Every structure is written in structure tokens, then in C-alpha cells.
Amino acid sequence: MAWRALAVLSLLLCFGSSCCDDTQDQFLSATVINNVVQDPQTGRIYLGAINGIYQLNSKLQLESSAVTGPKKDNPQCSPPITAQCTDAKETNNINKLLLVNSANGTLVVCGSLFRGICSLVNLHSVDKPLYYSDTKGEKTYVASTEESVAVVGVISYYIDVNSNANLSVFLVGKGYGGSDSSKLISTRLLQEHLEMDVFENMVEASTVQASPFVQRYLHDFRHAFNDNGYIYFLFSRTSGTSDSRKITFVARLCENDHHYYSYTELQLNCTVGVEQQENTYNKVEAAYLAKPGKVLAKNITSSNLTDKVLFVVFSADEDGGQSALCMYPLNSINSRLEEVIESCYIGEVLEDEKPKTVYSPYISKTEAICKTKRDKNMVKEYKCGAEFLPSPLASKPEYALSVKPIYTRNDMLTAVAVAVENEHTVAFLGTGGADVLKVHLDSSHNDFYHRIQGERADGGVNKNLFFDSTLDHLYITTGRKITKVPVHSCEQNNDCHSCVSQLDPYCGWCVLEGRCTRKKDCRKGDGENAWLWSPKQTCATIQSSVRIPEAFCIRT
């Protein structure tokens, strides 16, 4: 009797804690959402949609918004658009880039109108513009006018040697559209400084631009981040030869590199048959930088337990609809980059005098690079390159950093976010069909265990997939909608069996409380057999002949 009463009570408790979370926080924009960013300091969410930007609180309630289009424009005309621009017509403003500059309380907003000029708005109230000018000319054109050209960016700094000022800038990576500037990478000023205008390009290096060849490289930038004094860009492009197949690169350069002397591209292969050297999953879709849980970190060779790992989802552009998740420890990326740079600096060349490990991308340099034999220490001494050292460099395909996928699918993966719960790693993978798949990434598992169902009509999951500040919820964007979804639903399982059959690394059966919980929510959960971890799939064995309701799972 007592058992039964308790069972009923625990059932009630379970319902009590789960029923009312079902009303999901969500926000519907009037138009398709292109970009989503979060201000880590306030937890606010900013949406860059077609013809509008929105500021939401962490519960996705609207705080402020601004209309950014449509406006009369013609990509052939130089802004400002006047009567002289005869063919101007009402044009949608596709948001290309949103960046939170919390140090200065501004949001950087770059759209497709007016040659991709950006504006600054108030981070606390996006309806309050802080800076916009369409009269400063080509040096301030940032984004792309073409819908299909992706743009990524990251906030950084630039020390002006003359004034010794530490200037606030952002670096931009963008593909090439017909009426865009040909620069693949640029550094943009975020404040006025001496004669220079806001958004002015600070680096006049002609190296990391590809004109007139740029078109055939077809860059597709997917991600940019900084770590430990370096800026990284992740993109796919063609090889620049007749081969039109995309390949994926991570490019690294030093922060505050005024000439991009340190710019180096490393090919990333996500490959099934390493022996046959097939580059199966060739095109990067999205990426997420995170520290993996201990269990996974131990399994990644060459990874130090404190290392960050770049989790990358790729698609196979040949057999449309196939995709994979690959992991690249940042340490491995850095060491491989240094290996290929060093090989060039010390003059390793093949019989035909061509460099052994690298080539010069974009510029068809006629003089052979890497022929001068320099000291091995150069790569350490000139960590950020120098005028007399060859640049830019790209690794040859044979020196790609090649890893096997940790997870593969026969449909499209479009987004990835990674979380750690009690040393275990969970990947949240957005699909082309609007779902988010939860995959447990420990060596012995790599199991897909749950699907957060989206609405097919919304299209694929936006690559901006991330957590709230407590890491308890995930923000998922599809089409015009952003939704805040809990990372687990342990509490919905009312008995030990259903709790462990979830295989959810977040969940376990809390024996004392008779509830399915996270470990941190289980009183005395650290004790032996007090919290039975779901993926272990064992409720305590019951040895006595008296059947105890399963809900209790008490070891006798």
C-alpha cells in the first residue's frame, strides 16, 4: 500500500515538474531569419531577418525592432542612391552579418543593400541607430549584394603604430558577388580614428583577394572565431583549377596582423576511407568550438584534456543528402599549420622546385616560393609572418588534416552545437528537415538518441545554433521562427525503465527521490547506485522474489 501511495505521489511530482514547461518560448519574425546572435553578457538574442532586425530577451520576448528595408537600390550604383541611378527599384535587405560589440554597447548590422554598407545600432535598443553613412565610398562597402554570398565576422583589435591606439575592429570573411569588392578577408574599423571612417578597411594587403580569379574559387564562408591571439575562418572553395568540387579549409591569421602575412589555409578532410584518401564529406556547413567532456577528450588522440575542439558538420556535394560530423582539436590544427609553414620556411621543395607542402592560393606567383632555405626557428620567431617570408600559403591536399567522421547521416546536417554534461559530450545537430538530433558523443556510444521535431515547411535549421547562459536550453532557428527548447526532458519519464531507455546522457534515475533527473538535481546523487545514468541502461537488479514497483529501482 505504502509503495503504491508513494508511486502515485512520485507520478504526480513528475507531472508537476514537466507539465507546465510545455509552452515553448518562441518568436515568429515577419520574414525569414538570416542571422542570430546572442549577447553573452545579457543573454539577449538579436535576429537579422530580411528587411528587419529584432532584439529579444532570453525568453524570446520582443524588446525592440527596426525596419531595414526594402529600399530603392541598384547594385550597379554607388550609394547614396539618387535620381541619377536610373534603374533603382525596391530591393529587399538581406541581413548578411550581425555582430555584438559589447565593449562599446553596439550591434554591427550589415545587409545586402547599398553595396553592403553596415550600420551601428544601440545594443540595448536596436531601434536607436548610432552610426550610418552611405557617402564614404568603396572603402566602407563590407557585405555582399548577392543573396547567395555568405558573410562571417569576428570582433578583434588593431594597434595603430603611429598613435599607439588600440582600435576596435572586426574581421570579415566573405565570398565574391558580381558587384562586390574582391577582398576575401578584410579588417573594418569600429570607431572613428584620425582621418579614418567607421567601417573603413584597415588592411590594404592585396594578398587575400583573388581577382580576377576569385569567381572560380566560389568561397562559402561558414564560421569565424578567435582564440588565443589568432583569428580563424572556416569555408569551402574550389581548388582554383578546372576541378569544380568544393574543398574545406580553416584559415588562420594573427590578430593585429596589419598585412595578413600570417594568413595560412589548412585543408580539412572529413574522410571515411582514410586508406583510399577519399575526401568523402567535402563541404563545410557549420561549426562549433567547444571543450569536449573528459570521456570524449580522452578518446581523441593528440588532444590535451584542456583543448578546445572544432566540431564541424560537412555535406557531400556529390551524393546530395549525405553528411557527417568531424572533430578537429584546435591544437592539431595549429600544429599542422606550423608543420606546413615550417616546411616552406626551411625550403623543402620537390624535384620540380615546387614547395613540398604548400602553394600560394589566389595569386599566380611566377617566382617559386619556399626555395630559400631558412632557419627552423623562423616559424617560432616570426609567429605572425613577415614581409620577407612567403605568404599567403595554403596546404596541399596531401597535407590536409584528415579525420574520420564521428557520426554520419543520409540526410543534410546544417548546424551543430555541443554541450558537456558530467564529463559526457552531447552534440545537437540541425538537419535540412528542420529537426535537431541529439547525439551522445562518447567513444563507446556515438548514438543518436532523440529528435527535437521541427516543422518541415520551415526548411533547414539555421547554422546559428546555441545555448542560453545556463546551458539548459537551446535556441533553434528555422525559417521565420526561433524556438527555445530544453536540452533534456528527463522529468517526463516516470519510472526507471523509461528513464534509462531514453539513453539520454543528461538523465538518470534518482533512486532516493524516485524521479528521472539530471545528476545535479538528484539529492545524494553522488552516492553509489543513487543515480542510475540513463545510457548505462540498467535499473538496479532486484534479487528478492517480491516485485517492487519498477519506479523505485532500489537495490535490495
Q: Which residue ranges make up the site for ligand NAG (CB under 6 A)?
A: 103-104, 130, 157, 159, 166, 168, 190-191, 247, 269, 271, 277, 279, 299, 301, 304, 306, 397-398, 400, 402, 443-444
At its nearest, how many Å lie between ligand NAG and the CB of residue 288?
20
**Would you call 14 helix, strand, or coil by DSSP?**
helix
234, 221 Cβ separation under 8 angstroms = yes
At its nearest, how many Å lie between ligand NAG and the CB of residue 45?
22
* Residue among 11 and 130 whose Cβ is closer to ligand NAG: 130
Amino acid of residue 213: F
* Rounded (10°) CA dihedral 343, 347, 350, 355: 70
Distance, CA of 486 to CA of 14 (rounded, Å): 16
Q: Is the peptide bond before 212 cis (omega within 30 degrees of 0)?
A: yes
**Would you call 215 helix, strand, or coil by DSSP?**
helix
At its nearest, how many Å lie between ligand NAG and the CB of residue 229?
9
* Residue among 86 and 276 whose Cβ is closer to ligand NAG: 276
* Residue among 67 and 159 whose Cβ is closer to ligand NAG: 159
Distance, CA of 150 to CA of 464 (rounded, Å): 13
List strands edge to edge, sheet with 151-159: 151-159, 166-174, 185-189
91, 104 Cβ separation under 8 angstroms = no
* Residue among 244 and 443 whose Cβ is closer to ligand NAG: 443
At its nearest, how many Å lie between ligand NAG and the CB of residue 316?
12
* Residue among 209 and 357 whose Cβ is closer to ligand NAG: 357
At its nearest, how many Å lie between ligand NAG and the CB of residue 397?
4
At its nearest, how many Å lie between ligand NAG and the CB of residue 400?
4
Distance, CA of 259 to CA of 171 (rounded, Å): 13
* Residue among 58 and 248 whose Cβ is closer to ligand NAG: 248
At its nearest, how many Å lie between ligand NAG and the CB of residue 105?
8
Distance, CA of 93 to CA of 91 (rounded, Å): 6
177, 149 Cβ separation under 8 angstroms = yes
Strand partners, 37: 46
At its nearest, how many Å lie between ligand NAG and the CB of residue 222?
17
Distance, CA of 124 to CA of 106 (rounded, Å): 8
Q: Which helix (H) or strand (E) holds 99?
A: strand 95-101
* Residue among 157 and 467 whose Cβ is closer to ligand NAG: 157
* Residue among 285 and 491 whose Cβ is closer to ligand NAG: 285
At its nearest, how many Å lie between ligand NAG and the CB of residue 270?
9
Quote the DSSP letter at residue 59. Answer: T
268, 326 Cβ separation under 8 angstroms = yes
| 477: its cell numbers | 532557428
Q: How far is CA 236 from CA 65, 109, 177, 218, 363, in A?
A: 33, 24, 16, 8, 18
Residue ranges of alpha helices (H) inside 256-392 are 294-299, 330-345, 378-381
* Residue among 62 and 159 whose Cβ is closer to ligand NAG: 159
Quote the DSSP letter at residue 83. Answer: T
- Other C-beta atoms closer than 10 Å to the C-beta of 304 total 11
* Residue among 172 and 400 whose Cβ is closer to ligand NAG: 400
At its nearest, how many Å lie between ligand NAG and the CB of residue 298?
7
